[in-house]
Amino acid sequence: MSFQIMGTGKAHPQFSLTNDQLSTIVDTNDEWITSRSGIKTRFIATTETGLELTATASNQALANAGIAAADLDLIICATLQGDNVTPSLACMVQQEIGAHCPAFDLNAACTGFIYALDVAAAYLDSGRADKVLVVACEMMSKHLDWNHRSTCVLFGDGAGAVVLQKGDGLLARVLTAQSDTEQALLIPGFNNINPFSQLPHRPNVLSMSGRKVFKFAVGAMVKDVKKVLAQAGLTPAQVKMVIPHQANIRIIQSAAKLLGFTEEQTAIGIQHYGNTSSASIPLLLDDLWRQGKIQRGDIIVLSAFGGGFTTGACIIKL
């Protein structure tokens, strides 16, 4: 059973920030950013809210699927944090698009979209839903220290969505979680303003041990994708496209090479979007779908890793 993807959608802010523009804010340059990460530009919110991007991506996916928001049975929004802690982004977008179904946010960091697909599959399999909207939205620009060159150059804002219905398109999946005890990838909760607290104040901006995350990411992607290929009884040659989480072009290329995927099979959009966390896979999925690079009947592999640490991969027949 599980699901079939009925339609896809995406949204990003208007403003595209170049590496050269970044070099006027922090001590960096286009050559360093391009060679270390593959990123040339990223979209950064100026006037847009997370809700606006989420609603635009969701409405596009609904139009592409040919169904009305009122027909949805569930909305799952993958996000590190919506515009508010409460109401959730999922509840806000439910009203914005005119849906009436249950709605909740899910945080599995950059793996959030794959975790959300898995939850959606469970609802569809159990018969508790017929049509599910899974939308991922990340406003990474609000989590960054814009004085910190080793992190602020890497991320961007965006949203991507899919509408799912019952079907037999989910061929295999794997999810993992392991505690990042050394806090190699961290965004602390809130500035501590409780007057009784004796805990230290921690600014709530992203910090990362890039090399540790890099090493973890390549190993995790290779392991997860090998597992789902084995579960589905498929070889890399039978896969039309692998759509990896877009964190660093060198992570993607190393993992793809170790797995035996060709350049043509490996989807890359990091040059335009930067790392948009859980939104990176559905953003690219929508681009590839609308460009006709993937079509109904094709087999695709999704693979992600992120804070937690979380990882996940799945194989979908479109």
What would the two tokens of residue 143 be? 């989590």
Select the residue interacting with ligand COA from 167, 188, 210, 260 (CB under 6 A).
210
Q: How many CB atoms lie within 10 A of CB 190?
A: 9
Contact 310, 113 (CB under 8 A): no
251 vs 284 by CB, closer to ligand COA? 251
Q: Is 28 in the site for ligand COA (CB under 6 A)?
A: yes
**CA-based R_g, the chain, Å:** 19
Site track for ligand COA across 267-296, x = CB under 6 A:
--------x---------------------
Q: Using an 8 Å Cβ cutoff, are 50 and 89 in contact?
A: yes
Q: Residue 87: is the preceding peptide bond cis (ω within 30°)?
A: yes
Please report how close the Cβ of residue 69 comes to ligand COA at its closest, in angstroms: 31
Candidates 34, 36, 186, 240; binder of ligand COA (CB under 6 A) is 36
Active site residues: 110, 245, 275
**What six digits make up the tokens of 122?**
């469970």
Asked whether position 253 contacts ligand COA by CB under 6 A, the answer is no
Residues 93-122 as x/- pattern, contact with ligand COA by CB under 6 A: -----------------x------------
**What is residue 101's three-state secondary structure?**
coil
Residue with tokens 């909305």: 75
For ligand COA, which residue of 4, 49, 95, 150 counts as binding (CB under 6 A)?
Answer: 150
Q: Out of 67, 176, 202, 214, which residue is the one contacting ligand COA (CB under 6 A)?
A: 214
**Binding of ligand COA at residue 217 (CB under 6 A)?**
yes
Give the C-alpha separation, 220 to 126, whole Å.
Answer: 30
Does the protein bind ligand COA through residue 37 (CB under 6 A)? Answer: yes
Per DSSP, what are the bridge partners of residue 54?
none
User: Which of 36/223 has CB closer to ligand COA?
Assistant: 36
Stretch that binds ligand COA, among 145-153, 164-172, 175-183, 282-290 (CB under 6 A): 145-153
* Structural contact between residues 140 and 174, judged by C-beta atoms closer than 8 angstroms: no
Q: Binders of ligand COA among 163-202, rule CB under 6 A?
A: 185
Alpha helices of 127-178 — where are they, by DSSP H? Answer: 149-152
CA nearest to 155, candidates 11, 28, 54, 280: 280
Nearest distance in Å: CB 20, ligand COA: 12
Give min distance, CB of 182 to ligand COA, in A.
14
User: CA-CA distances (angstroms) from residue 253 to 14, 174, 265, 276?
Assistant: 29, 21, 11, 18
For binding to ligand COA (CB under 6 A), which residues are involved? Answer: 28, 32-33, 36-37, 110, 149-150, 153, 185, 208, 210-211, 213-214, 217, 247-248, 251, 275, 306
